[in-house]
Amino acid sequence: MRRVAQVIRIRPELREKYCDLHRDVPQPVLDTLRDCNIGNYSIHLLGDLLFGYFEYHGDDLAADMARMAADEATQSWWRLTAPCQQPVEEAEPGQWWAEMEQVFLMP
């Protein structure tokens, strides 16, 4: 299992919309997450930062992320949520959610 932590900025004027959208995530989007070997997924908000965490239980994260990106329901969902987000300054060129480095894991 691989732990993945990511961060992105929320556009303050769209904060309420983003939170409202996540109160009722479409079932096909949730199904695709599970089909792509993602579990224990959560998103947290602090100020204008969104922190996402999930556990990946597959063998090829890049392939599963590509499969997720090709899913029509997920693409529709992203068209709703993406305008609410803005990559952080630390994101690599072309990177949306910036992956965070794990510095501690309780033994």
Q: Could you tell me if residue 40 is inside a domain? A: yes
**Counting beta carbons within 10 angstroms of the beta carbon of residue 50, is it exposed (0 to 12), middle (13 to 18) or buried (19 or more)?**
buried
94, with CB counted inside 10 A (0-12, 13-18, 19+), is exposed
pTM higher than 0.85: yes
What domain range includes position 12?
A: 2-99
Give a yes or no: residue 39 inside a domain: yes
pLDDT value for 44: 98
The residues with which 5 forms a beta bridge, in sequence order, are 53
Which CATH number characterizes residue 16's domain? 3.30.70.1090
In a domain, 11, yes or no: yes
Report the alpha-carbon distance of residue 54 to residue 93 in Å, rounded.
23
For residue 30, what pLDDT is reported?
Answer: 98
Q: What is the pLDDT of residue 25?
A: 97
Domain total for the chain? Answer: 1
Residues linked to residue 39 through DSSP beta bridges, in sequence order: 55
Non-local (6+) Cβ contacts of 51 within 8 A are 5, 6, 7, 43, 44, 45, 100
Asked, for residue 106, whether it belongs to a domain, the answer is no
Residue 12 CA to residue 15 CA, distance in Å, equals 5
Can you give the pLDDT at residue 9? 98
Question: pLDDT tens track of the chain, all 107 residues?
Answer: 999 999 999 999 999 999 999 999 999 999 999 999 999 999 999 999 999 999 999 999 999 999 999 999 999 999 999 999 999 999 999 899 999 999 999 99
